[in-house]
Amino acid sequence: MLTALPRASFWLHWCWTLLLAVLLSTLVQTQFNLLALQQLGVSIPWAERLATSGHDLLNFTPVYLVLFASCYLIAMPLAHGLSSRLQARWRTPLFAVAAALGLWLTLVLVNALAPMPTLIAASRSLAGLLSLLLIAALAAVILAWLTADSAGRSNRRSDRQGAGQPLMLLPLLLFLPGIQPPAIAKTELQLDTLVRGLEHPWSLAFLPTGPMLVTERPGRLRLIHTDGRLEPEPIGGLPEVFASGQAGLFDVVPAPDFGQSQQIFLSYACGRMRANHTCLARARLDLSQLKLTELTEIFRSYPAKTGNAHYGGRVVFLDDGSLVLSLGDGFDYREEAQRLSSHLGALVRLWPDGSVPDDNPLVGQSGALAEIFSWGHRNVQGLVYDSARQQLLSHEHGPKGGDELNRIVAGANYGWPVVTQGIDYTGARITPFTQFDGMTPPLLDWTPSIAPSGLALYQGELFSDWQGDLLVGALAGRQLQRVRLTDQGARIEQVLLTELAERIRDVRVGPDGAIYLLTDDARGRLLRLSPSYDDDGATAW
C-alpha cells in the first residue's frame, strides 16, 4: 500500500476544488467556442456572451462534472499517497501533474469511445486543451496546499466512510428522450424484406435495365438482380476506400445516360486517418463481368482532415447535366463551413468530367474555391432534385437538435456553425444565434434530432396522396417521415415505421412506385414499402 486512505477533511477540500475546476473549465469552454465564431468575423454582443455562459453553466457543467470527477477521484488520492512517501516540496507539483495528466488521459479515452472525434469542443485546439489542463492543475495545487498538514497522518477507520462521499458527485448522465412529431393516423402498409445480410448498406440505385446497386460502407458495391437475388460476390474494380467509423463507400448514382454510357458515379472516403477526404469517381459498369472499368477520380475535397466523421457523400444530377455532391464539415472542423477557401461543409457542383461549370456562384472570386455551390452546412446526407419545381432540396444533421431541411439556392450561406437550433452533445452552446443576417434559414428543423439520412421525392402511382411529398429516413429516430412542402416552408405529415425500430440509411422511390429502404446495421436489410390491399384488391387505407 502507498499509504492509508485520506482523511475526511481531505475529501471536503476535494469536493470544493473539484467544483471550482468544473466551473472555471465551463467558462473557458464557452469562451473558446465564441472565439472560434469571432475569428469568422462574427460580432458577439456582451448580452449574448453572458447568456451563453449562463446556459453552459447550467447545461455543460453536469457533463463536465462527471468527466472531470472520474479522473480527479483517482488522481488526487493517488497523488496524496505518493506524496506521503516523498519530501514535502514534491507534494504540490505532484498534485498538479497528476490532475493534468489524469484529465488528458480521460479526454483521450472519452474521445476514443464516443461516436464523435472530440467530445469537449474547446479541446479541439492546443490552446483550449492546455487551458483545461491548467485549470485542472490549479485546482490540484489548491487541494495540495489545503491538505498539506494531513499528508503524513494515518487514516482512521471512521474516515473510510468519508472516502466514499465523493462518489455521490458522479450522477448518471441523463439523455433527453427523442420527442417524436405527432403522427397522423396510421396508413396500412405492407413491408417486405427483399435482401438480408448487407453490411452497413449506404446507398441504393436502380439501373434502367432493371437490377439494383447497393453500396456497403466497408467498401463493397453489390448487385441485386431483377428477381431480388443478391449476387454473392461484390462488383470488382472499386477505388481504394478509407473505411473507419463514418468513413467508407457512400453513394452510387447512375449517369443520366447510363443506357448508352454505362457510367456510374461513386462517392467515398479516401486517404488515411490523419489525412482523408471525400472523393468522387466515375467508372464504366460492366455487368457481364461484374466489374468497373475506366475508373477515374474526378473530385477530391480540400483540405485534408483528420478523423473519421462527417463526410456528406450524397450525389444528385440537375437538369442541365451537372451534378451536386454534398460534403460534411469533418466534425472537428466546423468553422471551415464558413470559409470559402475550404470544401468542408459545402455543396459542390461539377460537370461529370470533374470540371467546374462557368456559372457556379464563386467562379472568379478571389480566395474562393470555384466548385462551391452553397456553404454553411454541417453534414448533408439527403439530397434530391425536384425537376417539376426546379429546386434542389437537402437535409443535414444538426448536433443535439437542429437537423435541417433546406431549399438550396446557388451562392447561399446556410449558417453552420454561426446559426443552429441545436446545441453540442455536451449541452454546451455552439453559438448564441438561431438566425443571422445573410444566412438562409431552413424550411424545417428537427429538435431533438432524428439524424436524417436518405431523402426521396415521391413521384409514383402507388401512393397517390403522396405526390410531391418528401420521404425522410431517420437514423437516431428509427423511422420514416413524410414531409409536405408548403408556401411557408415544410411540415411533417406522417411518421411511419416506428415499430420497425431500425436505423434507416437510404430512401428511394422505385420504378414501380413502391418505396425502398436500406437499414443501417452490420446485417442490414433492403425493404420494400407498398400499400396493403384487402381481399377485394382495394387499398385497405
In sequence order, the β-bridge partners of residue 470 are 457, 483
Residues 90-112, mean pLDDT to the nearest whole number: 94
pLDDT at position 438: 96
Nine-digit cell at 40? 469568422
Grid cell, residue 515, equals 418505396
Chain centroid to Cα 58, Å, comes to 24
Number of helical H runs and strand E runs in the chain: 7, 23
In this prediction, residues 374-395 reach a mean pLDDT of 97
For domain 189-531, which CATH number applies: 1.10.760.10, 3.30.230.10, 2.70.150.10, 2.120.10.30? 2.120.10.30
pLDDT for residue 532: 84
**Which residues carry out catalysis?**
310
pLDDT reading at 90 higher than 90: no
Q: What pLDDT was estimated at residue 151? A: 54
Cβ atoms < 10 Å from Cβ of 388? 9
Q: Does residue 149 carry a pLDDT above 70?
A: no
Are 37 and 189 in contact by the 8 Å Cβ rule? The answer is no
Q: Which residues lie closer than 8 Å to 56 by C-beta, 6 or more apart?
A: 26, 27, 29, 30, 427, 428, 429
pLDDT value, residue 168:
37
Q: Inter-axis angle of helices 61-83 and 8-38, to 10 degrees?
A: 130
Average pLDDT over residues 301-328: 97
The reported pLDDT for the residue numbered 171 is: 36
Residue limits of CATH 2.120.10.30 in the chain: 189-531
Provide the strand spans (E) within 148-231: 189-198, 201-206, 212-216, 220-224
Q: Grid coordinates in use for 409?
A: 439556392
By percentage, how much of the chain surpasses pLDDT 90?
Answer: 84
Q: What residue ranges in 287-365 does DSSP mark as E strands?
A: 291-300, 315-317, 323-326, 346-350
Residue 150's pLDDT is: 57
